[in-house]
Amino acid sequence: MTRRSARQIWGRAFAIVTALLATLALLVGCSTKSDTEQPPEAKGPQIVYEPAADADDVSPIAPVSVRVEDGTLRDVTLTNPAGKPVKGAPSADLTTWTVGEPLGYGVTYTWSGTAVGAENKTAPIEGSFTTLTPDSRTSANIQIADGQEVGIAASIIVQFDAHVEDKAAVEKALTVKTDPPTVGSWAWLPDDNGSRAHWRPQNYWVPGTKVSLDAKLYGVNYGDGAYGDSDITSNFSIGRSQIVKASAPSHRMQVIRDGEVVFDFAVSYGEGNEDRNVTRSGVHVVSEKHEDFLMSNPPFYENVRERWAVRISNNGEFIHANPETTGVQGSSNVTNGCINLSPEDAAVYFPTALYGDPVEVTGTRIDLSAADGDIYDWTIDWDTWKSLSALAEKPGSPVSATAVKPAPIPAQPSTPGR
């Protein structure tokens, strides 16, 4: 075996050490490159608008807000073209700002403010949207005023100044609250100078009931391009129980208050020899009263002054004084359809009558109906009444308010019978 020289041994060792150092340098170089890489750049805040930027035909009662992801909001405002800020408020974590009031029709609103994200990166709150412009706006009113006390048969009547096509959408905006709780339902009666919705309890109101109506009608789509003009409210109460029992065959009229007879008057009802002068049977409702009233019923009489007149129907039926029939009151029916009392008895009854009192007429050959005026609510049985709600379920058909309807109301004389 050849003996290697010291020079050869050291040369080989040097080569090995050199290779090891090169490998180590390569490993160190890789580690150094990894350690010096920069972290990804922080994203700016992401902004979400509701409705979307530049949206048109936005409902004035739709939810409106701006929200930021990965950040917070600062100094957010929404202004109308005049620069007036819309009411609104931020969420507790400052990530959402929400409008707190209805907007106007046909108005362009503009956002402003700032969103701040990580590392204080900012993004502007900006852009605009425009609310819808209705083809028409429909107004409504309620016949019972705030604070009014009414009788136990009073319906809540919401009268619209035009036809309502989408009755279901409108009815969803009508809320009735009562204390104590009271079973009742809305019913849409045939249009009378516009659509009308009546809310009636199943039975007469409990005396002392507190009632509130909240009709959130502004911005509601009524259909056919019409929208609600404004909200309406009413808070009222039910007074004492007073029921007039009017039996035509008896020629008398009893006033029953809180279950006790307080008056028993001799009266005269409609003569009944013609349909026009039959006092209608059924539950009438006191709707107004006048100490003096000019009554006309051409061609029979015109502008006759009557005293202590209490209207109970729009077909011309009143309870009123009539000195010309005092000789037969209590023994014969001779009127044109009204209930006649002596001047003395009428003066006693008049101040006790309250809007919404029921007047229950019995014993005549024609029943009160839709043909007799606007308040015939209590002549409709409860199941039929409920079916007149636009939200009632109709077996085998879509929700509809037209499945059951009373007869249409004919034109009424402008002044009543006697």
Q: What average pLDDT values come out for the chain (418 residues) when binned by 10 residues?
A: 49 50 45 52 84 97 96 97 97 97 98 94 97 98 97 98 98 98 98 97 98 98 98 98 98 98 98 96 98 85 90 95 97 97 98 98 97 93 98 60 32 38
Residue 301 pLDDT: 76
Nearest to 59, CA basis, from 164, 158, 173, 161: 173
Residue 92: left (phi > 0), alpha (psi -120 to 50), or beta?
A: alpha
Please tell me the distance from the alpha carbon of residue 18 to that of residue 11, in angstroms, as a whole number: 11
Catalytic residue among 198, 251, 290, 320: 320
Residue 288 pLDDT: 97
Residue 263 pLDDT: 98
Residue 408 pLDDT: 35
Backbone angles phi, psi at 15, to 5 degrees: -65, -40
Residue 296 pLDDT: 80
Q: Is residue 372 within 8 Å of residue 315, measured between CB atoms?
A: yes
Beta strands in 203-287 (DSSP E): 210-215, 221-223, 226-228, 232-238, 242-247, 252-257, 260-266, 282-285
Q: How far is CA 216 from CA 89, 103, 145, 252, 366, in A?
A: 22, 14, 17, 46, 40
| 3 state DSSP class of 9 | helix
Q: Determine whether 163 is an active site residue.
A: no
- In DSSP terms, 309 is beta-bridged to 290
Beta strands in 161-231 (DSSP E): 174-179, 184-189, 196-201, 210-215, 221-223, 226-228
Residue 178 pLDDT: 98
Q: Is residue 140 within 8 Å of residue 231, measured between CB atoms?
A: no
Catalytic residue among 30, 198, 284, 338: 338
| 3 state DSSP class of 130 | strand
What is the DSSP code (8-state) at residue 303? E
Q: How far is CA 254 from CA 38, 152, 166, 263, 267, in A?
A: 97, 17, 44, 6, 10
This prediction's pTM: 0.82
Residue 299 pLDDT: 76
Backbone angles phi, psi at 21, to 5 degrees: -65, -40
